[in-house]
Amino acid sequence: EDQVTQSPEALRLQEGESSSLNCSYTVSGLRGLFWYRQDPGKGPEFLFTLYSAGEEKEKERLKATLTKKESFLHITAPKPEDSATYLCALGYNQGGKLIFGQGTELSVKP
């Protein structure tokens, strides 16, 4: 059965304290590993998609990496405005559907 698991469920950081969020998966027919950011009361906002092991993408303080079993979202020197829930999702060859993990709630304190 296809599965995606995110850890930790919640992460509290001090401003400037770098860390990583994990997304572990098992899937057949993977067509992309997606990262989204969701702020309270809003819909998810697209961040990155990765398609093959070894691929990396960066955006400001965020860097996403992908292996055959997991993806990491690295946050370098985070700021309070990076506080949000970060979601990863598996894409499929057929149908375009995404299967989401339960998310990691990140809180960055000044």
Partner 1 sequence: ETGVTQTPRHLVMGMTNKKSLKCEQHLGHNAMYWYKQSAKKPLELMFVYNFKEQTENNSVPSRFSPECPNSSHLFLHLHTLQPEDSALYLCASSPRAGTGGKGANIQYFGAGTRLSVL
Q: Is 21 in the site for partner 1 (CB under 8 A)?
A: no
Q: Is 20 in the site for partner 1 (CB under 8 A)?
A: no
- Residues in 26-45 that interact with partner 1 by CB under 8 A: 31-32, 34, 36, 41-45
Query: Of 12-20, 58-66, 68-76, 91-99, which segment contacts partner 1 by CB under 8 A?
Result: 91-99
Q: How many helices (H) and strands (E) does the chain have?
A: 0, 11
Bridge partners of 36, per DSSP, are 46, 87
SS3 assignment for 68-104 = CCEEEEEECCCCHHHCEEEEEEEEECCCCCEEECCCE
Q: Does 97 bind partner 1 (CB under 8 A)?
A: yes
Residues in the chain: 110
Which listed residue (22, 24, 49, 67) binds partner 1 by CB under 8 A?
Answer: 49
Q: Does 46 bind partner 1 (CB under 8 A)?
A: yes
d(CA 34, CA 51): 9
- Which spans of this chain sit near partner 1 (rule: CB under 8 A)? 31-32, 34, 36, 41-46, 49, 51, 87, 89, 91, 93-103
